[in-house]
Structures are given as C-alpha cells and as structure tokens.
Structure 1
Amino acid sequence: MAHVSDLIATDIERYLEQHEKKSLLRFITCGSVDDGKSTVIGRLLYESKMLFEDQLAAIEADSKKWGTQGGDIDFALLVDGLAAEREQGITIDVAYRFFSTDRRKFIVADTPGHEQYTRNMITGASTADVAVILVDARKGVLTQTRRHSYLVSLIGIRKVVLAINKMDLVDYSQQVYNRIDEEYREFAKQIGLADITTIPLSALKGDNMTEASTQTSWYHGPTLMGFLETCEIDETRLQGDALRLPVQWVNRPNLDFRGFCGLIASGSVRPGDRVRVQPSGRESTVARIVAYGGDLAVAVAGQSVTLTLADEVDISRGDVISAADAPAEVADQFECTIVWMADEPMLPGRPYLLKLGTRTVSASVTEPKYKVNVNTMERLAAKQLELNEIGVCNIALDRAVPFDAYQANRDTGGFILIDRLTNNTVGAGMLHFALRRAHNIHLQHVDIDKSARALQKGQKPAVLWFTGLSGAGKSTIANLVEKRLHALGRHSYLLDGDNVRHGLNKDLGFTEADRVENVRRVGEVAKLMVDAGLIVLTAFISPFRAERRLARSLVADGEFIEVHVDTPLDVAESRDVKGLYKKARRGELRNFTGIDSPYEPPENPEIRIDTTELTAERAADRVIEMLRARGFIA
C-alpha cells in the first residue's frame, strides 16, 4: 500500500511540475450584446474538461431553470455568474475564468457588450495578450465591434481573433464569412491592427471550437482552441527593455539595512549595475538584490525584489529606479488618451488624483484636443468627455513624475484618474509624450519672496473666498471688508466675479466646464497676489466644491479662508437686483446656479454668514474679527 501511495504522490508531483512549467495566455472575449461571448468561454471550459461532476450537475440544473437551449446545456451559464445577468441574458461585469489544456494555461476575461459597460471592458483588456472579438454572422460588424477593436488597439493588444459566431444560423455560408472578414480588416487597418486571425464558429454546436468542422470544409485555418494553444506570446509587449522598478515600499527594519521594494516592471538588474533614481536624478550602484529565498545574482521583469544601493540616496514610495544609461523621462505635462468611465463628465481644470505606477499626484486636464467617433474614426471637437467617450487631451500634474510613453511601457505609461472626494476611478489613460513646455519652462528663483513682501506690508497674506448663490450678498460684504482693511492701512485687492468676466475671463461662458475654468483662473491669480503679500478677497458663486478645494490647495495651509454667505434660494431670488432669476425662470438664461445648475454648499467653511440673521455691516465686522484672531492683521 505504501508503494502505491508513493507512486500516486510521484504522479501528482510530476503533474504539478509539468503544470507549473506551462506558459500562461491571458485573453479577453468582447463584442456586441448577444454575440455569444459567454457561450464561447463556457464551451472552452467544457471541452478542456475543467469542470467537476458537481459543477456539471449544477450547470445542467441551471440550464433547465435559466437556459435558452430547450433543456440542453447552456454553456453561457458557466460564466454569467451574476443573477442580474441570468435574468437579462447579458453580461454586465467582467468574469474571469481559469482553465488549462495539456499545452497551456489560460485566464480569460468575459467582458460586457453594452456600450455603458465600456469601462468594464477596459479593465479586462488591460492585462490581456490576445483579444477574441466576436461577431454575430447574421449582424456583421457593428458599432460595438468597432468600439471594442479601437479600445483593444489603444490598450496595445496586437493579436486579434475575429470569431464569426453563429455560423449555423447562416447555413455556414462562405460568402457571409468573406464579407464580414473583408469589412473588419478594412476597419482594422485604420486603427493599426494587422495580426488578425478569422475563424468561423458555432459555439453552441461546437463547430471549429476544438475540432475542425465538417460544415466549413472551405475553411482551412486553426480552430479557436488550436490558435489559443499555439499562438506566440510576446512577453515584452509594451514592457520595454530598460530597467524600471517603481518603488512600492522603503524597507528599514534596522539601522543596518535600507532596501527599496517593488515589482520590476521591465528590464533586468544585477548587483553592480548603475541605476538612476527618478525624478530626483541621483545615481548609485546596486549593492544587493534581496528576495524571499535569499540574494539573487539577477532579477527580471515580473519579480518582486528589494534592492539595496551602495550610496545613501533619498528614495520614497512612487520613485522609479531606472537603468542609468536608459532612464525614464521626467515631466509634469503630457498629451494622453483618456477613456472616461464616470457618469459625471470630465471637466477641464477640475482637480483629480492621478495614479501612475506606485505614485499618486494631483492632476487636471488642461485642454481636451478632440474626442474620437469610434464608428467613423472622425476627430470631433470637445470641451469635455462624457461617460465612455474617448479623447486625446493635455494633462498637467502638480509635480514632475518619471514616465515612459504607453506604447513603450504600459506599466510606466498607463494611469488612472480618481475622484478626490469619492475615491472612485473615473478614467483610464495612456501617456503619449511630454509637452515641450514641460521641458522648456522651469521655476525661476527670486530673492524677494512672499515672507519679505508680507513683512514689508506688516500683515499675513491670505485669500478670503466668498461663495454663495447669486444675490446672497457676497460682493456687498466683500466690498465692506476691503473698506475696513483699507481704513486699517492693510494692503488688499478684491477680485469680483462680474468684474473679472469683463477682462481676464471675458472669453468664458456659463457652462459647467467654463465655470470650472473661471474659478481655476481666479485661484491662480489669487495665488500670485498672496505671493505678493496681499490679503485677497474673491466674490464668486464658485458652485462646485472640487474647484474650491483646488483654489485652497494653491496656497499654504492656513492662508485660505472660505466664507460661505449662506442665503436661502427664495431670499436670494427675492432680491434679484440684476433680474437674473426672472430670466432664468423664463428659460432665457441657461445654467443658472440654483435654478438649472447645482450649488454645492461648503461642508466646513472657516466662516458661515447667514444673511437672514446678520446685516452686511455686521457680517463684515465678523470677518475682520476673525482676521485679527488668526493674526492676519493687528
């Protein structure tokens, strides 16, 4: 018995060793709704014999309850795990499945077909080596086929299987196959897809899935499984040859050890190699490569390691250790492609968080250059991006970061945008190149700084940011505050919303995007005035919290004082000195705050003034009292 047990253990060990040595192919299935993506994956799982008896029993039961094949096995149910999907008969989330054959291991992502789930498709495609794009033989190439193909090309997938499914419903017509193949290849040329393998399928009947079908004797190419088992995997695709190690953690367990941990994104490294730390640009030599099992003589892309350096170099999370003779670029302004994933539109000037590798910085889109109509490949003018739209934009960061173009290295060239308030991912992007001005424009050192200017004036500089509805009394109170400051011999300047729109911002309208840009410009001007040592007062509706947070972030802690002039809408409307509310109610004035455009009140303002309780004079006195209490004026 012991001998038999030893044989079984040996067989298991040999099997596991062989399994471990198999290559891994990641691929996605995508296409329009009901093209049969889930059925294709279900059939592959079934044919690869990766299902246990209890799973087969469960799928047979589910097929009778949920299936659409008259009681026969509905292979799509092996993948459509969400109840909502089963009830609707569609896929609404990315479903990942693992399976294996004698030749290779696979991870497949079944991505949604509906346009509103484009963001899910991007998630599934981000790590794939091959895209299987399904087309219903009855419908041909659709808008979603083009959309997903364009996204595949953006992500950098170069191997594409055009799977023309449901051939049984067109009598396995070679003419239909040729027409769809020709139409798709013509479109693929426009987006740079050249490595295309077209396969006629019936996932339901099993034609050309794992064995050549007698129904398509005119087809002499591979089966779908045959292609997936034998296609070459480009391990360095969008990876680059030079060393890139984004630092994830600085390991300092004791005074004698200081290592820099991370996953090698590209290239290789050996002890003695010269490296450059970016963005600082400091250079050193690799002393040791520490891994779980001990020191390594060489480490390559895909390995998680800890590097120690020969010199004491200041390195933090988010820095990138690069090859000294082939470093990454460093810049703070870029051209990029952005796929917008949020219900709220992307607005130029609005601050977001940008995550690139292990580094997170503040960023804003400075200028959308155009958006792409993926059906016609036409470039359309755009001031913002809506959900699932794809655009080429300029983007600015609050500091310089190391990067590579996405087409050279996806790990150091791909990023996500995050909403600062909700922490939701709102966009995914690919860096193209640094803008020229990012290299040519540098901060100039000056000898007279903000402290010297403020000392000369005998005051502490600050921004008093008055916000509230139109008619709340912002300008009236701000004007009274400035008169009091002037009487006290203080140096100030009032930036009023209406006055600024006569000059600096006269080119802006009142759309949501223009309002964001209006506040951004005022925030930058206020920052310069604070640097001049002034007490700056601004009186703007500034309806959005995100832009007020941006204005606050431009100056030092404690220098931004948000004054919420809190007046109920009916009270503000009853004043209506300029007649704006009447115009808005008649529909003559669009995007008017409080009527057809929202106002987001401050959550924690430094001062809240209720003008139903305080007169403008008393409100001004409160502001002056607060300035004295905080030491801005004597």
Structure 2
Amino acid sequence: MSSLLRLATAGSVDDGKSTLVGRLLYDTKSVLADQLDAVQRASVDRGLSTPDLSLLVDGLRSEREQGITIDVAYRYFATPRRSFVLADTPGHVQYTRNTVTGASTAQLAVLLVDARKGVVEQTRRHAAVLALLGVPRLVLAVNKVDLIGYDEEAFTVIAKEFSAHAASLGYAEGSVLAIPVSALVGDNVAARSENTPWYQGPTLLEHLESVPVAPDPHEAPFRFPVQYVIRPRTPEHPDYRGYAGQIASGTVRPGDEIVVLPQGSRSTVERIDTHDGPLDEAGSGSSVTVVLADELDISRGDLIATAHARPRLTDELTAALCWLSGKELRQGAKVLVKHGTRTVQALVEEITARFDEQTLSTVDSPESLELNDIGSVRLRLSEEIPVDDYAKSPRTGAFLVIDPKDGDTLAAGLVGERFSTLGA
C-alpha cells in the first residue's frame, strides 16, 4: 500500500501556485475529462491558445473573475508510489490566516517564488509561519524560470538566499530543497526539463514521491477528546454508555489503562465501537465510540488519555499566537480558549513578544498584536485544561482564541515556547 503525504503550497500573489497545482493534477492524470474540457473552453473564452491549468483549482467564481486564490482548497491526487493531500493556500497578505489553516497538518510545504522577483516579504512571512507550525520540510519552487531564459546563476542566487533564511528559522541542512520549475510549460514539475541541464536534482513530483514523511501520529500518546456521550437507553442496550469522538493522536486497544482529564479518574478500555462493529485497535484520525470498564462521570470536553503518558493540567498557557483578526489584541483582554472539545474563559495576562518575520527578531512587550502578527502571550484560564506542547503533539498542543462577544475566531494558538525555533 502506498504511503500518504500531506503537503501545502504557499507563496506571494501571482507566483503561480494554482498553475503549479493544476500542472500536478494534469501530469498525474488526476483530472476528469469533463473538467479538462471545461478548462479548455474557459481558456478559449479568455483568448488563450493553451489550457489555463490554474482553472482546475481556482474553482470559486470570484476567484476566476479576479484571477486570485482567496480560500484554502484541498486537492487529492496519487501516483503508484504515494497518495497526496494538498492544501492550496492563498497568497494575499490579508489571507495569511488561511495559510495557517492549510499548513497546520502539512508534512511538507512547497513555497513558490517568481524567478524574476526572488525572495520577497511575503516569502519570508510564509516561511516564518511554516517554521512556527513545525512543518518539517520545505521545497522552494523557483517558478517561471522560462521567463528568465533558464538562467542558472539567477536560480542559484535565489536558492542560496532562501536557504540562509530557512536556516535562520531553524531548518536543518537537507530539509530544504530548491527546484527550478515552470508550472506553465511543465519544466521539472513531473518531467525533467532539457532546458535546465545544469540542474541535477529531482523533479518536484519525484521529490514528493520519495521524501520521508513525518513521524506517524499513531506513535504519539493516546489522546481522545470526548465529543458526545452516547446513552441510548433502549431495551437492547439499557446500560450502554459510550464516549464518541475522533482520536487526536496515538492508538487505543481494549484493555488499555486510561485516565480521564481534568478530573483524573482512571479506568480501562472495555470496547471500541464503530458503526460497522467493534475494533481490536483504533488509531489517530479514527472516529470511534470508546466504552470503559467503569461508570465514570464524563462529559463533552473531557479528554481520555493513556494513563502512563498523560498530558499536563494547567490553568496558565505560555503560547505563540498567529493573530488572524482585524481586531487588535491588548493585555487584559478577555477571550475564550477552545482546546479540543472544551471551551474555557481566559484572560490575556501579558503579550511578551512580537516576532518580526522579516528581520528574524522579536519586539519585547509590544502594546498589541494586529492582523497577521505572530506573538508570544501568557493566558490565565478560568479552569485547568489538559495540554501537550505543540512540538510533541500538534493536535492537543493547539487551540483557538475566540471573541466572547460575537464568536469570531481571533487567533490560532500553539502551546509552548515556539520563538526559539524561529531564530529569535
């Protein structure tokens, strides 16, 4: 069975992300005939002589009319060697929040730059966000090399500049690869180009097929946020009590010892139920109903975890925030923190720093955080919650900050000291 790679694309506006994704879908024969026909008709209507492959992914009418991508679009394709889930994220600076969403589960990110422009402000911003989220591998796709006459020297300058920037963000040697490509004509995307004889590395698709994936989340400690308590009270199941949800990390088997947090009650797993019947084992990402050997007082928002490697209980969080709202954040603000299936009140005790992704430095004790800022904060919670550091368990080390007045999402939060990984 082929492995699965989750990847994301990022880059500045008009660097060609949609065209590159369209090229990957086209070259891997992941496009239906009627989709391709529709693209060809739309391309003719625009006066183009060749199909505009970006139309394969710019599906929203507003995106097609504006010629930009404004939302995260998930694409699925496969080769005989590997299956792929790709998050195509927008390039506009005001949609950096969408990049956070798309890259949050990525094992690799493809960051595009225009060969004529090189590394720009948004390139550095996206690289900082990817490093903050812990995306372990980067590909710098130097796109539109056909428009610079396949100039090796120009490519080398861009690759060296970005490699130095990535190293400053904490990326080790070997975790970043630069590839000269032309998404429009297909150079080094799926097939090696004769126009770049000076490039001896893999094509983009070859690299995606062969790159090692991140550690399997099944190997992390078992974490299970309770979404719903099932008590049918039917004649067939008069005493049934199950806890439904999606496994955030790790695996679980009948007989495993567990602890329920925050209350600390302990029990063992009696059964793992699904719509198709009981399981001998369930892993990360599986939606199941867990039945315990003991009757415990468990409700939505509780976390069932392995007893021998439990998360820590705390009512104070030191965390990095990716600020996603046009409303600014100031010290003393009252917010809601949504962690897993539990939502608690919180107070912003201190904004300790703001990260400058251009200079890779921090501004200590800033007055506020604004849209697209990355900052470090201390939050005081109204009650204890079970958390892991984001670096160890992304699913239980991440949370949302919500406006208690209107329910708007204000920020994505990552538990732990993250700035040390960004060179700051």
Which TM class, normalised by the smaller chain length?
over 0.9
The residue correspondences of 1:476-495 to structure 2 (distance < 5 A) are none
Corresponding residue for residue 400 of structure 1:
384
- How far does residue 184 in structure 1 lie from its aligned partner after superposition? 0.8
3-state secondary structure, aligned to 1:39: helix
Aligned twin of 2:118: 140
Pick one of 215, 218, 225 that aligns with 1:246.
225
Q: Which stretch of the first structure deviates more once superposed, 340-349 or 401-410?
A: 340-349
Aligned partner of residue 371 in structure 2, secondary structure: coil
Aligned residue for 1:88?
A: 66
2:349 is the counterpart of 1:371: no
SS of the aligned residue for 2:355 comes to strand
The offset of 1:235, in angstroms, is 4.5
Displacement of 1:23 in angstroms is 2.9
CA drift of 1:204 comes to 1.0
User: Which whole-Å CA distance do the structure 1 matches of 2:416 and 2:114 have between them?
Assistant: 35
Which of 370, 394, 399 pairs up with 1:386? Answer: 370
Q: CA RMSD in A?
A: 1.7
Amino acid at match of 2:338: K
Secondary structure of the corresponding residue to residue 195 of structure 2: helix
Runs of 4+ with >3 A deviation: none
Partner residue of 1:352 out of 335, 353, 359: 335
Residues in 1 aligned to 2:46 and 2:95: alpha-carbon distance in whole angstroms: 23
State whether residues 240 and 408 of structure 1, in contact with CA within 8 Å, keep that contact through their aligned partners in structure 2.
no
Q: Which residue of structure 1 lines up, in the alignment, with residue 6 of structure 2?
A: 26
Q: CA deviation at 1:115?
A: 0.9
Cα distance in 2 for partners of 1:38, 1:139 equals 18
Correspondence 1:118-267 to 2 at 5 A: 118-194=96-172, 195-236=175-216, 241-254=220-233, 255-267=238-250
Query: Could you tell me which residue of structure 1 aligns to residue 45 of structure 2?
Result: 65
- Does the CA contact (< 8 Å) of 1:30 and 1:148 recur in 2? yes
After the TM superposition, which residues 83-122 of structure 1 pair with which residues of structure 2 at under 5 Å, given as runs?
Answer: 83-122=61-100
Larger radius of gyration: 1
TM-score by length of 2: 0.92
Corresponding residue of 2:422? none
Q: Name the one with the larger strand percent.
A: 2
Could you report, residue by residue, the CA deviation over 1:70-90 in whole angstroms, capped at 9, with x for unpaired residues? 432111122122333333322
> Which position in structure 1 is the counterpart of 2:29?
49
**CA-CA distance at 1:291 after TM superposition:** 2.5
Mind listing any 5+ residue stretches in structure 1 that lack a counterpart?
A: 1-20, 434-634
Q: Is this contact kept in 2: 1:240–1:409, CA < 8 A? A: no
* Partner SS, residue 41 of structure 2: helix
1:66/1:86 contact within 8 Å kept = no
Contact 2:136 2:214 in 1 (8 A): no
1:332 equivalent in alignment to 2:326: no
In structure 2, distance between residues paired with 1:263 and 1:245: 6
- The alpha carbon displacement at 1:200 in A equals 0.7
| Residue correspondences, number | 410
Secondary structure at the counterpart of residue 253 of structure 1: coil
TM-score normalised per structure 1: 0.63
Query: What amino acid maps onto 2:262 in structure 1?
Result: P
Q: Give the 3-state SS of the residue equivalent to 1:257 in structure 2.
A: coil
How much has 1:131 moved relative to structure 2? 0.3
Q: What is the deviation of 1:252?
A: 1.2
- CA drift at 1:240: 5.8
Note the C-alpha offset of 1:347: 2.5
Q: Could you tell me which amino acid in structure 1 is paired with residue 176 of structure 2?
A: I
Structure 1 residue aligned with 2:297: 314
Of all paired residues, the percent bearing the same amino acid is 48
Alpha carbons of structure 1 residues 130 and 49: separation in structure 2 relative to 1, 3 Å: same
Letter in 2 for 1:385: L
Determine helix, strand or coil for the equivalent of 1:295: coil
Equivalent residue letter for 2:362: R
What is the CA-CA distance between 1:33 and the residue it aligns to? 1.1
Q: Deviations over 1:151-208 (max 9, x none)?
A: 1111121111111111111111111121111111111111112311211101111110
Q: Secondary structure at the match of 1:306?
A: strand
Greater RCO, 1 or 2 (C-alpha within 8 Å, sep 6+): 2
In terms of fraction of residues, the more helix-rich structure is 1
User: Residue 306 of structure 2 is aligned with which of 316, 323, 327?
Assistant: 323
Structure-2 change in CA distance of 1:270 and 1:346 (3 Å): same
